[in-house]
Structure 1
């Protein structure tokens, strides 16, 4: 039975793709406004005493080039994330591609299920040093996709349960959502880095000023004070704007991640026994609960949204220096009990 793409998810994916493209440009424009309009205007008003509305911020002479460069940088970032995002995921997880001679049974399972889903056979990779059972799929298209399983998954599951988890990952491939998730993570990563840098400057710059040796009464005094004032205002605006865009993009990434898991569960249930996937999720959840913190840290490489089962991140602290707790956002995955309930209902309707 061929697996059809999830139309409801395809529609949401199209909307999300629009936001993924629009939000980085909006962030770039906001930063452009801060550095090319607010900064010169504030500094000129401070030093010369000319009212703000009398200052001509950088205008027609320079903005065209600035916008062109800004657009080029943002497009390059999105393209690079799209092209190299799967490599980052594989590298950060420690996955190694395996050939048919090394893992004949695993390749046979993937090939059989891919044929059933009407997909080209993907590459297969294993995370040999990871004892936590999990799996994910990456790739820019079905023809360039890779299904990844941990050694812990191969040790924990077999038979129909292992087939069901692989079918879940193939449903992600069918829905083409792996590349979308990696591209969607560009803006949260960028804005968080900018916010962290601005926060660092705001915290540490007052200490630096305490040791600065300048006389506010000499000719350079007003200019230096103007630079300091503009620097602090710019840092504060940068922090506020980047934090706002980070929260928006991070929330979108998590909501999309939750729905893509439901869509992949439905796809796996269409390809295999829904009860088998429900049983597999229950077994994975039990193993995750019992996994040592060190094993969970090994698996946590910034790609937790791609996994078939969520990391139990409440078991350990990985963000001691975080500007804002991620606990206020939805989890990357729906509750496992809820997913099991839906799969059980689907199985009862079928049988």
Structure 2
């Protein structure tokens, strides 16, 4: 049957730009480290009496292509399973969740896509997402979502996730979360190492009391840590561009797709309001089990919640991944008005 989803050339362009960024940024990351090694770290070592070093660090472009292409292929192939594992979700069959499978299959037929697999995470936080790779797609829901939404709201939320699959943006986002997550954790780890070295220096007396060799080694370590921190932070910011280009817009597109599939925009508006209002009452342990860098994939953001302890990693790795929920609801109500 023909798809009920509206054409969206702007989304297609954004998917292409985001895909290009996903491919280009790893190369830039590699060669930036090569540049700073040759321009900063090797001269620093030589100035401290080490060396001289003949020649400079070089990465063969063909080797870089093999590494990056292999990494992206592995992420595309294993990425969905990694994301499912990170939120504690498992694929379920139709015997275990017959009604859920029937809904997803029916909605996929309306969108003219192959029915995605269905996965469930035992978690009180009401949320859902779609992941996609070469082996197919999966729609993931939490038990909290199944218990919180009524049938009409659940149908609209599942239609939203099926729209992500039909729009092919789920594949890009499944792959795109890796680089910002890696660079974020690398920057944080480097910052802790740098902090530890500064603390050790402060408690150990002046460098003159430590010996010239130890002082030189410490200087090299501190500069190396600072360079690594700067490069990692820069590429974290650059990789977040992927989500700036695609993540917010794709939510609007999936909202429009869900409205087209179900013919009931107010159902998704109601679901979003229910999720937005219900998230604050969810125990921190359940929210944190959804944390870890996959927030851009969720139907509802985790940010802005009242936590009893530290902020979530997801809100740091991917800040502002979703449009304001109130704006999404207003747009959906506007669609409903246009249908009347």
Structure-1 residue corresponding to 2:187: 195
Deviation at 1:30, TM superposition (A): 1.0
1:344 lines up with 2:333 in the alignment: yes
Instruction: Map 1:159-308 onto structure 2 (within 5 A).
Output: 159-208=151-200, 210=204, 215-216=211-212, 221=213, 225-254=215-244, 256-272=246-262, 273-308=264-299
Deviation at 1:43, TM superposition (A): 1.9
Preserved CA contact (<8 Å) 1:37 1:57:
no
| Gapped regions of structure 2 (runs ≥ 5) | none
After TM superposition, the score normalised by the length of structure 2 is: 0.87
What is the DSSP-based 3-state SS (H/G/I as helix, E as strand, rest coil) of the residue aligned with 1:315?
A: coil
- For residue 28 of structure 1, the aligned residue among 19, 27, 30 is 30
Structure-1 residue corresponding to 2:301: 310
What is the DSSP-based 3-state SS (H/G/I as helix, E as strand, rest coil) of the residue aligned with 1:126?
A: strand
Q: Deviations over 1:73-95 (max 9, x none)?
A: 33332222211110011112222
What is the DSSP-based 3-state SS (H/G/I as helix, E as strand, rest coil) of the residue aligned with 2:287?
A: helix
Between structure 1 and structure 2, the one with the greater Rg is 1
What is the DSSP-based 3-state SS (H/G/I as helix, E as strand, rest coil) of the residue aligned with 1:139?
A: strand
After TM superposition, the score normalised by the length of structure 1 is: 0.84
Preserved CA contact (<8 Å) 2:14 2:245:
no
What is the DSSP-based 3-state SS (H/G/I as helix, E as strand, rest coil) of the residue aligned with 2:305?
A: helix
1:124 lines up with 2:126 in the alignment: no
Preserved CA contact (<8 Å) 1:24 1:74:
yes
Deviation at 1:29, TM superposition (A): 0.9
Q: Equivalents in 2 of 1:215, 1:312: separation in Å?
A: 49
Deviation at 1:8, TM superposition (A): 1.3
Q: Equivalents in 2 of 1:57, 1:14: separation in Å?
A: 42
1:44 lines up with 2:34 in the alignment: no
Structure-2 residue corresponding to 1:110: 104
- For residue 152 of structure 1, the aligned residue among 144, 154, 159 is 144
Deviation at 1:157, TM superposition (A): 2.2
Q: Equivalents in 1 of 2:115, 2:143: separation in Å?
A: 21
Deviation at 1:313, TM superposition (A): 4.6
Q: Deviations over 1:89-144 (max 9, x none)?
A: 111222222212222211111111111111111111222x2122211111115x71
What is the DSSP-based 3-state SS (H/G/I as helix, E as strand, rest coil) of the residue aligned with 2:125?
A: coil
Deviates more, 1:87-96 or 1:287-296: 287-296
Preserved CA contact (<8 Å) 1:36 1:57:
no
Preserved CA contact (<8 Å) 1:288 1:312:
no
Deviation at 1:232, TM superposition (A): 2.3
Q: Deviations over 1:219-255 (max 9, x none)?
A: xx4xx55443333222212211211111222353255
Q: Equivalents in 1 of 2:199, 2:26: separation in Å?
A: 33
What is the DSSP-based 3-state SS (H/G/I as helix, E as strand, rest coil) of the residue aligned with 1:281?
A: helix
Q: Equivalents in 2 of 1:348, 1:182: separation in Å?
A: 34
